[in-house]
Amino acid sequence: MKASMSLRLFVFSVLLVLVPLATSETSLDRFLKCLPSHSDSSYPVSRAIYGITNSSFEPTLRAYAKASRFLTSSTPKPLAIIAAMHESHVQATVICAKSNGLQIRIRSGGHDYEGLSYVSNVPFIILDTFNLRSIDIDVAGKTAWIQSGATTGELYYNIANKSNVLAFPAGVCLTLGAGGHFSGGGYGPLMKSPWEKICFGQSGEVVVQALVSSFLGRSIWLMFLPK
């Protein structure tokens, strides 16, 4: 009788441990499996993924979090950080997060004093664009192509290297990420002020095109008509 009771207890204990393991695939697991099928295989997305067990996860999270009050142990952390290294990584992240019910927080320079680009109260991942920072200046056309992770300081430097008469209206701080700053309007010293006769406007007023990744599986060109 004792042997039989011990056996039942043993089996019951094993079931308590094994049942969660049998159903342990989470939305994060499915999200990570989804990424390679929607990104360019020439640029392995695995190199852009920082999971919570990765030794670089915490340094990467903190590197572009400018508001230290959101860097406490009690602050909700992302399930993973996707530090996109290619445009296809951005699209894959958007598609796979949408299909697996994960919220995305998108970060470029981290100048978000409410923590909205790297904090959430629901399960989320961070799409970080700090690796996407190429800048192509066309002096003759007076235009520039700027990736989301490029900073305003890098933009000013590249313009100054090509021209001493061209400029771009944006913020004073040199570490503002282009993606967040421009999409938020782009306040800066060249915008209209009561004592200035010449006004160049905000960053958002001089953006004429944007390439946006859609969860529908394609990129969308947005065209803007400056006033």
pLDDT at 211: 66
Nearest to 138 by CA among 120, 114, 158: 158
pLDDT-above-70 percentage for the chain: 72
Please provide the CATH number assigned to the domain covering 135-223. 3.30.465.10
The DSSP annotation for the chain comes to: -HHHHHHHHHHHHHHHHHHHHHT---HHHHHHHHGGGGS-TTS-GGGGEEETTSTTHHHHHHHT---GGG-STTS---SEEEE-SSHHHHHHHHHHHHHTT-EEEEESS---TT-TTT--SSSEEEEE-TT---EEEETTTTEEEE-TT-BHHHHHHHHHHH-SS------S-TT-BHHHHHHTT---TTS--TT-S-----GGGS--EEEEE-TTSSEEEEE----
Quick one: pLDDT at residue 210?
Answer: 67
In this model, does residue 226 exceed pLDDT 90? no
Report residue 196's pLDDT band, with 50, 70 and 90 as the boundaries. low
Task: Give mean pLDDT, residues 191-206.
Answer: 62
Res 197 pLDDT > 60: no
Per residue in 94-144, pLDDT (tens digit) is 999 999 999 999 998 888 778 888 899 999 999 999 999 999 998 998 888
Decide yes or no: CATH 3.50.30.30 for domain 22-128: no
Give the number of other CB atoms < 10 A from CB of residue 30.
14
43-93 pLDDT per residue, tens = 999 999 999 999 999 999 998 887 888 888 888 999 999 999 999 999 999
CA nearest 187: which of 199, 175, 173, 170? Answer: 170
For the chain, residues classed under CATH 3.30.43.10 are: 22-128
In this prediction the pTM is 0.77
Question: Highest-confidence range of 10-19, 149-158, 167-176, 200-209, by mean pLDDT?
Answer: 149-158
The predicted pLDDT at position 213 comes to 62
Does position 23 have pLDDT exceeding 60, yes or no? Answer: no
The pLDDT assigned to 53 comes to 94
Q: Does residue 202 carry a pLDDT above 90?
A: no
C-alpha 17, offset from chain centre: 37
φ, ψ (nearest 5 deg) of residue 160: -65, -30
